[in-house]
Amino acid sequence: MLSPQTIEIIKATTPAVAQTGPALTAHFYERMFHHNPELKDIFNMSNQRNGDQREALFNAICAYATHIDNLAALLPAVEKIAHKHTSFMITAEQYAIVGGHLLATIDELLAPGQEVLDAWGEAYGLLANIFIKREAEIYSDNAAKQGGWQGLREFVITDKKAESEVITSFTLKPVDGGSVAPFRPGQYLGVYLHPEEFDNQEIRQYSLSSAPQADQYRISVKREEGGLVSGYLHQQVQIGDTINVVPPAGDFFLDLAPSAPVALISAGVGLTPTLSMLESLTEHQAPVRWLHAAENGSHHAFREYVADLAEHHPHISSHTWYRQPRDCDQPDRDFQFEGMMDLNAVAEMLSEPDMHYYFCGPVGFMQSIAKQLLALGIAEDRLHYECFGPHKVL
């Protein structure tokens, strides 16, 4: 536990830290990568360039400092980040490196004095130990599962299939021929790539896009404009190639009683975790609502597959929005609604009192969905969402 004096110092200096804004995290990352360039093999450098990782770190620092006297309020965020850290194979030694650069950054930007630096060091140490302990549990749990492991494991690409003009699926099986660790629908797989043309090792997390299977995983990847890793996977990786992966992780997953109705809401490649959920709900005892938004038919992945699931399982209903349908896209066959997703159009089927709502897609889309659901009177504790990349609060 932190001493009352440390808590008082942290809360008193938090406004000064917050006022530094992005300058603090920019200085921190530049300093860290200068002194420890090996960490470029762990951090997503694309998120460094677009500022997403810096924003996420700044928000995390401010949230921790604000709740320094009520750490229980941070536990959901700790769980989310701990899962992400295990997919990067973060170690206790790396926490020490990060902590050293964080304190040096505060000193170099604010020069607050040794007493303040000691307080922030004590607070960081407490938080780091919380993460280290939880991540050790996750590593151990993953290794103990049937088909589980810790660290990198080599998988071979056994199938590569274009699901739309921008999304391609990859089926992966262990090179060692063994089984794979089970996962909870909605979780992701950590993928490690370092071909000769990459300056650094690149690590990405891709949602598992099928229900759990005993001997293989499937990920479905969107080709991002200018995306280094997604472009490599789409254009270079072929059947028979091998990649390294770490065990499934993530705190966004299906957790329902068999009698609970559920709405799975997605846009674009955000359907990958919800598709895994949908496959797992084919024998569910309650209604399952599949709501998806796509640009048009050329971007609509898994259209025929979802339609077939709905046709053969009466408790599943499917509705799709196309923002700008093509001339060849047929209403009622390819899509039901035109424009942005408006939940008022299907409000009746979302009104079951025990329904839970899982949604994923671009941040703007998820902000809109959360706002619409709350406007329909849905309790916030029944809303569950996932952000691809650094976490953002809706």
**121 and 202 fall within a common domain:** no
147, 140, 36, 24: which is closest to 82 by C-alpha?
Answer: 140
189 in any annotated domain? yes
391 in any annotated domain? no
Please enumerate in sequence order all residues whose Cβ is within 8 A of that of 275, keeping only pairs 6 or more positions apart, or say none: 209, 210, 220, 302, 306
For the domain that residue 370 is a member of, what is the CATH number?
Answer: 3.40.50.80
For residue 389, pLDDT over 70 is answered with: no
> Residue 21's pLDDT is what?
82
**163 and 130 fall within a common domain:** no
Confidence band, pLDDT 50/70/90 cuts, at residue 387: confident
For residue 392, pLDDT over 60 is answered with: no
Task: Give the DSSP H/E element, type plus range, for residue 192.
Answer: strand 188-193
256 in any annotated domain? no
> Average pLDDT of the chain?
93
- Which of 135, 163, 202, 386 is an active site residue? 135
**Per-residue pLDDT tens digits for 212-222:** 999 999 999 99
Going from the C-alpha of 377 to that of each of 77, 99, 345, 373, the distances in angstroms are: 25, 43, 15, 7
Rounded (10°) CA dihedral 66, 72, 77, 79: 150
Task: Give the DSSP H/E element, type plus range, for residue 52.
Answer: helix 52-66
Whether 208 and 189 have beta carbons less than 8 Å apart is answered as yes
**107 and 190 fall within a common domain:** no
- 135 tagged catalytic: yes
**11 and 129 fall within a common domain:** yes
Distance in Å from the first CA to the final CA of the chain: 31
- Which of 64, 95, 192, 358 is an active site residue? 95
> Residue 51's pLDDT is what?
62
Domain count, the chain: 3
Binding-site positions for heme b: 85
Binding-site positions: 85, 188, 204-207, 268-273, 387-390
**Per-residue pLDDT tens digits for 276-313:** 999 999 999 899 999 999 999 999 999 999 999 999 99
Considering the entire predicted model, what is its pTM?
0.93
- 95 tagged catalytic: yes
For the domain that residue 9 is a member of, what is the CATH number?
Answer: 1.10.490.10
Q: What is the mean pLDDT of residues 389-393?
A: 52
Please enumerate in sequence order all residues whose Cβ is within 8 A of that of 252, keeping only pairs 6 or more positions apart, or say none: 186, 187, 273, 358, 360, 384, 385, 386
